[in-house]
Structure formats: C-alpha cells, structure tokens
Structure 1
Amino acid sequence: MKDDEAFVLDDPERLKALAHPMRRLMLRHLNVHGPATSTTLGELLDAKTGTTSYHLRQLEKYGFIEEIPERSTGRERWWRRADVPRDIRLPTPDQLASEDRPVLAEFHRIGMDEDRELFERFPAAYRRDPDWAKGSRGMGRMTKEEFARFYEEYIALLLKYSHRAEDAPPDARPLYIRLFALPADEDFA
C-alpha cells in the first residue's frame, strides 16, 4: 500500500484495539515523542508496568506499534510506532456488522473527548505562540459531491505538508490538526 493511499480501518478487532483511552495515549506519546518503554509510559500515564505492557502487546498484535529489537535488552523492551499508512479512515456504520457498530461509536466517543480537551487548550497555545496555533471557523454551502471532493482535497493537502517523524526537517513540530464538519441546517430541528 502506498503511503498516501487511504486505508479503511474496517477490521472490528483492530478498531477495538484503538478504542481504548490508554492505548490512544500511548500511541500519541510514541507519535509525538518517539520510542519508549512500558516503564516510561507507565510513569507518564500513572499506570503499572504490567498494565502498560498488556496494552503495548495489544497494539503490537494489531500492527500499530513494533518492538525495537536492537534497543531492547533483557526485560526492557523499547517500542515505536509501526509504519502504518498516514491516511487511515474509519468505516461508516453500514460497513460494519450491527454487533460491531458499538466499537465504532466508542472510538468516536473517545476521539471527541480528546478533541474537546485539545479545543480547551487552544486559547493558551494561541497566546503563547500564534504562529504555531491556528484556528478557522467557517460555513459553506456544498452539495454532497462537492463536500466529498473538499474532504479528499483536505486530506491530500494534509499529506502533502506533513512529514513522518523520521523524514521531518529539524525545525518541524508535531501538530494536532482537526477537521470536522456537520450540517448547519439541523441546529434547530
């Protein structure tokens, strides 16, 4: 699969592996800060090493992280984010069996909790350095087809200007970037 090719995460077991708050925090840490051990992650997340080890093994089982054998010694195992596609998309509910839809709903719930926390951090980040904290709010009128094209072009633009950690220039920083859109004419329905 090409790096910029869309990958739909429609395997319910893989989706379930990511529908856990601690695993998402661990992945976020590995993504932003690079390799870590279960001990390091446990200290950061205020969790026991056994707990972090279990969650790391689940993330490894479903291909989201991998051990760094040349850095691991004895009982100390180092982990890094696996080489996964950058354009990972979620299935629509109708693409999953009805019994698997609650996992998708939980994935979205956890993601929205994370996004609310980022949204609350935005004003302070903007005051600290407005060159690194940008926001935009808008309203547009589009057909369903235009909206689909807009979304695809947004993803393409994001992929064009983002670097994998190992390929990033020295002055590149990790950024949280969110896009969400929903119909405005349902506000007062």
Structure 2
Amino acid sequence: MSEQRDEPGQPAESAEPGGEERRTVSDPTALKALAHPLRQRILRHLGVSGPATSTTLAAALDENTGTLSYHLRRLERGGFIEDIPERAGGRERWWRAVRGLDVRRPALEELTDGERAVVSTLDRMRMAEDLELARRYLANEAEPDAFLRGSRSLSHLTREELDAFHDAYLELLARFSRGPEDAAPSARPVALRWFGVSVE
C-alpha cells in the first residue's frame, strides 16, 4: 500500500497504470484505524510478505489470533485491507493490503480536537519509522550491493509548483507501485519517502 497525505492538487480518483482507480482516504474515522502500532505492523507485513491469515499473522508478529482478528476488522472497516474470496477455505479468511490508496490528512481546521490528536499520533508514529529508515540508510550506504538510493536538493518554488511537483511524484510512484504478488523474483521491498519543506 502506498500512502501520501496532506497534499492538495490531486483529484480524488485517478487512473493508475493498468486502468486501476486510485482511491483517496481522508476520513478521520478511517485514519484512526491507522493510528495504532500493531495495525501499522500488520499493514507492513502484508505489504512486504503478501496475503496472510490471522493465524499466519499471529505467528509472524508474535500476537494471539484473537487480538489480530480484532485489529484486522478495524483495518477492514477503514478500507485498508480486504479479504480474498478466491482463497477462502475452511474457517480462516485470507487478507491483503488494498492497493492504490492515496491516504491524506484532512485540513486541520476541519478536525475536532479528538481527531487532531489521532492525526498527531499517526504523524509521530510515521516520523519514528522514517527516522529509523534514515538510520538504516546511513548504516548501509557504504555497502557496495546495498539496495538503496537517495537524493537531496534545493529549489525555489511557488506553492502551486510544489503541489505540481508532488502530483508528478505520485504519478511516478503509481508507475512503480507493485505488491509482493506482482513483483519480479529479484525484487525486494523498498520504502519510498519524499517531503518538501521551506528552509526559511
């Protein structure tokens, strides 16, 4: 699942390569489903390893199946995961991450105090993850076969140009977005991040 947030200028739905529609998620109730550490781990596991049942997730994440089932239902209600009917068999459902989601932070002035607290929690969780990714990048950049690339730059942009840059980034991300089921045998899961911020 690819996630973007808080960026204006993109239509609610746009076609992905292959004709798939991208769906925007910005409802505070749906975003609340993301603001939990275990649910983030579930989504990461499904994104990296592909479909799983509550039993296989419980084993992978060292949690009990009852706990996993509760959090899977919350993620399903939020629209972040879905079951796979064609893999149904026995009593367990198979789950996969929903592809093509465009997750956005609602405008802060439209949120209640409680919803702002949820968004702030989610931001802190994501920032902690991003800092860990940056640490791993620095730890591995000297390795000749490291699976990483990075770039930093400075430009002078208007707000409209920054929005246009972001939309072009989303188009590029959609072009290269693949789940584990669609990836080439030599592919590895790669975390992709970008942000732009005024330096003044």
Q: Same fold (TM over 0.5)?
A: yes
Structure with the larger helix share: 1
Partner of 1:143: 158
Partner of 2:187: 172
| Correspondence 1:20 to 2:36 | yes
Partners of 1:128 and 1:35 lie apart in 2 by 31
Partner of 2:132: 117
Partners of 1:166 and 1:38 lie apart in 2 by 19
**1:156 shift after superposition:** 1.4
Partner of 1:94: 109
Write out aligned runs for 1:30-179 (5 A): 30-82=46-98, 84-130=99-145, 132-179=147-194
**1:68 shift after superposition:** 2.8
Q: Which moved more, 1:1-10 or 1:140-149?
A: 1-10
Q: Which moved more, 1:118-127 or 1:107-116?
A: 118-127
Consecutive unaligned residues of structure 1, counting only runs of 5 or more, are: none
Task: Please report the TM-score for the alignment, with normalisation by the length of structure 1.
Answer: 0.83
Q: Which moved more, 1:144-153 or 1:71-80?
A: 71-80
RMSD: 2.4
Helix, strand or coil at the partner of 1:18: coil
Q: Is the 8 A contact 1:37 1:78 kept in 2?
A: yes
Amino acid at match of 1:179: W
**1:26 shift after superposition:** 0.4
Q: Is the 8 A contact 1:9 1:91 kept in 2?
A: no
Partner of 1:184: 199
**1:178 shift after superposition:** 0.4
Helix, strand or coil at the partner of 1:22: helix
Percent identity of paired positions between Structure 1 and Structure 2: 46
Consecutive unaligned residues of structure 2, counting only runs of 5 or more, are: 1-12
